[in-house]
Amino acid sequence: MKEKLQTKLTNLPRGPGVYLMKDSGGRILYIGKAKILKNRVRSYFHEAPRRDLKTDVLRSKISDFEVLVTDSEMEALILENNLIKEHRPRYNVNLKDDKRYPYLKITGEAFPRLLVTRVLKKDGGRYFGPYTEVKLMRQTLRLIRQIFPLRTCGLKLPSRRKNRVCLNYHIGRCFGPCENRISEEEYGQIAGGVGRFLAGRKVELLKELRSRMKSLAEAEEYETAARVRDQLQNLEGLIARQKVLNPDMADRDLIAFSREGVDACCVTMQVREGVLIGRQHFYLVASKTSEDGELLKTFLMRFYNTAEAIPPQILLPSKPKDEPLVGR
């Protein structure tokens, strides 16, 4: 063993963190996390061959390593997931085409818009997805715009400039915030309804709309009450066509997993308030020596890392690697 490498092994920290194994060309082969970095990293160089075929193959190719110390094992788990997604090492599990899946985004503007995006940013917006069925996402987008006609223009609002409403206002597809036809408060309530709709909180949304319509009518704000009534009727018609799967009205995700060689697939079904609101499939690619538990762990970390909300119950076909940490 090279003296430089031996020195690095001797000086390894004992705390939690992430390690990056590299080949002779400096390419990252594998990224992992450890509760005690000193013990985990040294095991690649000093232990005898084990039944873990992947570790044995990897050990023969490692020429160098790098470690990143974290404050906790949970922080190491999250960092590991982010680094794998960024570098896509050969011996880690990777989602196929995971960068191409679109999201629906409610912008953080004073008068929010509902957009399709493939880039996640910390910009105050709310992201829903990813959607692997783009056709289904487009159908959802059209449906939402019929019930909750948020603006689609790129104007910066509110504005001191004098704007004129566009065709969307005249055909009932926008409330005309550009011409102050709706208050920022009322518009914000409508945008909040879109968020609850996308999160599957339709029963909660119905109650809110009924209450708001009643309050507006009592205050003799009949025009605004009529808008809420139309949203309520459209939403009630949609919900009546949906099938309730669970009479307990619980929120849960169901995940199925199948694998053949280096290719694997995870299918998720999201049930909210007892109703199936979405089904998505994700393809993964792994080395031949990757275990099923590692694939399942990778999928769970990637999928729920960007989720708007995580249900209280997730049904899995088997236990993922690092189950106690992933379950947090």
Give per-residue pLDDT as tens, 299-318.
998 888 878 888 999 999 99
Q: Does the structure show a pLDDT above 60 at 243?
A: no
Q: How would residue 115 be classed by pLDDT, with cut points 50, 70 and 90?
A: very high
Q: How would residue 46 be classed by pLDDT, with cut points 50, 70 and 90?
A: confident
Specify whether the CB–CB gap between 123 and 218 falls below 8 A.
no
Q: How would residue 287 be classed by pLDDT, with cut points 50, 70 and 90?
A: confident
Average pLDDT of the residues in 249-269: 90
Q: Supply the pLDDT for residue 50.
A: 57
Fold held by 3-92:
GIY-YIG endonuclease (3.40.1440)
Coil, helix or strand at residue 41: helix
Q: Which residue has the higher pLDDT, 67 or 249?
A: 67
The highest-confidence range among 42-46, 135-139, 193-197, 320-324, by mean pLDDT, is 193-197
Specify whether the CB–CB gap between 156 and 194 falls below 8 A.
no
pLDDT digits (tens, 9 = 90+) for 58-111: 888 899 999 999 988 888 888 888 888 888 898 888 776 555 788 999 999 999
**What residue segments make up the domains of the chain, in order of their start?**
3-92, 103-200, 252-326
Strand order across the 103-106 sheet = 114-117, 103-106, 126-128
Which among 115, 320, 133, 150 has a CA at the least distance from the CA of 231? 150
pLDDT digits (tens, 9 = 90+) for 170-198: 988 899 999 999 999 999 999 999 998 88
Provide, rounded to the nearest whole percent, the portion of the chain with pLDDT above 90: 39
Q: What is the pTM of this model?
A: 0.65
Specify whether the CB–CB gap between 249 and 203 falls below 8 A.
yes
- Helix then strand then coil, in percent of the chain rounded to 5, is 40, 20, 40
